[in-house]
């Protein structure tokens, strides 16, 4: 299996559902190459096209998830990067709790009469605190990806994408914190989480020992 085919298949895995343009952005491959690779993957039964509620994209089939898992296991064996990925996952866990809290605070601002009241973004100090926390997480992410990218270069870029989303949020585009349909801070973070877990072959919610 070619490197391009592996990248395309894994891009669909970490995004959950992706159109051709999204896969091209994630992999850095041109649109023609992406279309060819997705067509081949469909022919092998690894991906299928889905349409839901006016949106559509590619998603992995069960066979596709098995193939991606086999690719990732072979990659770890060939690169010897398992220890680096496991260390990154352990470092990621406490940061993940902070990210979830920040995104919750972006969406909700408890009131005396309603602790689940929506954040209407009319309180600059509240929003500024959330954005500052995301900026702190961006710094932590840069260090994490810097180390991990040296061991497994395909992880490079998550920190840049997160900072790009944060810059747009700071510019007043609120959907770039936790919005759906854009590469928001939350979306980029969740893709990285899925990438770490799938690379290590573990389900969500399982903590790795420090060994």
pLDDT tens, position by position, 33-51 = 999 999 999 999 999 998 8
pLDDT tens, position by position, 124-138 = 999 999 999 999 999
39 burial level (CB within 10 Å; 0-12, 13-18, 19+): exposed
- How distant, in Å, are the alpha carbons of 84, 130, 132, 166, 172 from that of 139? 19, 15, 11, 12, 21
Q: Spell out the domains of the chain, with CATH numbers in brackets.
A: 3-74 (1.10.10.10), 84-200 (no CATH)
3-state secondary structure 177-189: HHCCCCCCHHHHH
pLDDT tens, position by position, 138-190 = 999 999 999 999 999 999 999 999 999 999 999 999 999 999 889 999 999 99
Q: How far apart are CA 161 and CA 43, in angstroms?
A: 31
Predicted TM-score (pTM) of the model is: 0.90
pLDDT at 205: 54
């Amino acid at each position: 299996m070619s490197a391009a085919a592996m990248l395309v298949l894994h891009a669909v895995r970490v995004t959950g559902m992706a159109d051709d343009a999204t896969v091209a952005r994630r992999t850095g491959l041109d649109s023609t190459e992406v279309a060819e690779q997705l067509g081949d993957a469909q022919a092998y039964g690894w991906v299928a096209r889905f349409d839901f509620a006016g949106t559509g994209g590619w998603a992995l089939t069960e066979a596709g998830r098995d193939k991606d898992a086999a690719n990732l296991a072979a990659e770890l064996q060939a690169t010897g990067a398992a220890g680096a990925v496991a260390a990154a996952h352990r470092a990621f866990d406490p940061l993940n709790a902070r990210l979830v809290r920040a995104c919750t605070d972006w969406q909700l601002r408890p009131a005396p009469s309603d602790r689940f009241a929506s954040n209407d973004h009319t309180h600059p100090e509240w929003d500024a605190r959330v954005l500052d926390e995301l900026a702190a997480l961006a710094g932590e992410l840069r260090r994490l990806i810097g180390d991990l990218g040296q061991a497994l270069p395909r992880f490079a870029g998550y920190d840049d994408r997160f900072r790009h989303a944060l810059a747009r949020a700071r510019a007043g585009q609120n959907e770039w914190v936790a919005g759906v349909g854009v590469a928001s801070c939350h979306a980029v973070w969740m893709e990285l989480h899925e990438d770490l877990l799938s690379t290590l072959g573990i389900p969500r919610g399982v903590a790795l020992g420090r060994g």
